[in-house]
Amino acid sequence: MNDDLKALIRTIPDFPKPGIQFRDITTLLLSPHGLATCVERMVAAVDGPVDLVAGVEARGFLFAAALAIPLKAGVLLIRKDGKLPGATIAEDYALEYGTDRIAIHADACAPGARVLLVDDLIATGGTARAAVRLLRKAGAVVEQAQFVVDLPDLGGAELLRAEGISVTSLVAFPGH
């Protein structure tokens, strides 16, 4: 069903290191029809009302804003630590070599707010799982996450599902 969108996503071999097949959505974003179709299909997959659409830095911001408008929701930015002014709450997560940290404004999410998590791609799920923990720490109700691309062989979507999150994606690519 989403082969039309899959065809708009460019694969760049050996980026950022040998053996990686980088799935580049910039080519999808360049297509007005592709971008509109992507947003329409993501909106159609939302289950029930949401108060906020949380986008993970940086490409997740694009989809969060685009989805928030038809969903009549606000946009919550999940940023790399140190990028937001004012009081924040943060969450650490593991990387292949080390750790990283994401943050939101401490007052960005009212307790009980229904939040849809959105990003362009899910691979191992480290960032997405940290985002769910962060949002829940803020009092959000997070039950849904959407991605344009899933790399199912890396298991991130399954790890999110194990945490009670309904995960949808538009396209999947084998490998990493």
Residue-level pLDDT at 151:
96
Residue-level pLDDT at 161:
98
All domains of the chain, ordered by start, with CATH? Answer: 47-172 (3.40.50.2020)
- Known catalytic residue: 96? yes
User: What would the two tokens of residue 111 be?
Assistant: 């307790």
Strand bridging mode 21-24 / 10-13: antiparallel
Is residue 73 within 8 A of residue 116, CB to CB? The reply is: yes
How far is the CA of 155 from the CAs of 82, 160, 174, in angstroms?
Answer: 29, 9, 11
What is the C-alpha separation between 31 and 27, in angstroms, rounded?
A: 7
Residue-level pLDDT at 139:
98
Residue-level pLDDT at 12:
96
Residue-level pLDDT at 98:
81
Residue-level pLDDT at 170:
98
Among residues 41, 59, 133, 136, the one annotated as catalytic is 59
pTM, full prediction? 0.96
Among residues 23, 41, 79, 96, the one annotated as catalytic is 96
Grouped pLDDT means (10 residues each) for the chain, 176 residues = 94 93 96 98 98 97 98 98 96 86 97 98 96 98 98 96 97 88
